[in-house]
């Protein structure tokens, strides 16, 4: 007989109820640069078990996922646009690093996406390094327009410019879309947003 799985710690259970990890997410990335409309890209995220990539520095109980985002071309999987390791743990929902092939490059420190108990007014900031790239990131959770919606407003400052990213989450559903603004001196402002999002839930 199989031993029963150990119970999930209360803060982690609360986060998993608020933002359950999906199995697959599909959406379109839209945008414009000044007066020029950007091509509409169909994207698909797949979330697979990331346990074997667990960084040595992690402490406590974590659920790890490899989140691979691909373009979809004529309904078929296309090139990878992002490949990341994310985790649910004592620090909350965290971006741990990104892959190039099978090589994982970690954020130092890890990037907190949502705290373990998301609530309006929560704020955090940190300076991050990944390889030779540095950034300063400040985040605040504000009330969204839908019932049970929180919006994570992140300002990311890099040597070449500023990114303002608004990720939207609905309690019990998780991530429901984003808007982003990129400003680089000497270039038109770049706006991006998601449309037509669909989520395939992971088996419970």
> Please, where are the H alpha helices in the chain?
10-18
For 15, the 3-state DSSP assignment is helix
Is residue 4 in some structural domain? no
Query: Could you tell me the pLDDT band of residue 3, with boundaries at 50, 70 and 90?
Result: very low
pLDDT surpassing 60 at residue 1: no
Structural domain boundaries enclosing 100: 10-197
Is residue 169 in some structural domain? yes
Is residue 202 in some structural domain? no
Is residue 117 in some structural domain? yes
Beta strands in the chain (DSSP E): 22-33, 36-37, 41-49, 63-73, 76-89, 92-100, 103-114, 123-130, 133-143, 149-158, 161-170, 174-183, 190-201
Instruction: Provide the number of structural domains found in the chain.
Output: 1
**HSE-CB for 9 with a 13 A CA cutoff:** 13
Nearest to residue 36, comparing CAs of 195, 191, 193, 196?
Answer: 191
Tens-digit pLDDT profile for residues 4-57: 444 455 568 889 999 999 999 999 999 999 889 999 999 999 999 999 999 998
128 touches 107 (CB < 8 A): yes
Here the tokens at position 76 are 């078929």
Is residue 141 in some structural domain? yes
pLDDT at 202: 76
Tens-digit pLDDT profile for residues 123-158: 999 999 998 899 999 999 999 998 899 999 999 999
- The domain that contains 54 carries what CATH number? 2.40.128
Is residue 49 in some structural domain? yes
Is residue 3 in some structural domain? no
Is residue 203 in some structural domain? no
**HSE-CB for 72 with a 13 A CA cutoff:** 14
Q: pTM of the predicted model, to two decimals?
A: 0.89
């Amino acid at each position: 007989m199989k031993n029963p799985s150990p119970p999930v710690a209360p803060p982690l259970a609360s986060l998993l109820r608020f933002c359950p990890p999906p199995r697959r997410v599909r959406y379109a990335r839209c945008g414009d640069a000044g007066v020029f409309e950007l091509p509409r890209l169909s994207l698909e995220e797949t979330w697979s078990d990331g346990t074997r990539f667990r960084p040595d520095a992690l402490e406590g109980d974590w659920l790890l996922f490899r989140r691979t985002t691909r373009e979809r071309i004529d309904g078929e999987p296309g090139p990878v646009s992002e490949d990341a390791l994310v985790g649910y743990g004592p620090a909350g929902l965290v971006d741990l690093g990104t892959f190039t092939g099978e090589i994982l490059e970690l954020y130092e420190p890890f990037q907190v996406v949502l705290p373990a108990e998301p609530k309006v007014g929560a704020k955090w900031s940190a300076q991050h390094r990944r390889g030779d790239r540095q950034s300063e990131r400040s985040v605040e959770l504000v009330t969204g327009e839908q019932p049970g919606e929180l919006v994570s407003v992140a300002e990311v400052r890099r040597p070449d410019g500023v990114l303002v990213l608004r990720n939207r989450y609905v309690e019990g559903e998780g991530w429901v879309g984003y808007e982003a603004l990129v400003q680089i001196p000497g270039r038109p402002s770049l706006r991006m947003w998601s449309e037509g999002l669909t989520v395939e839930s992971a088996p419970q």
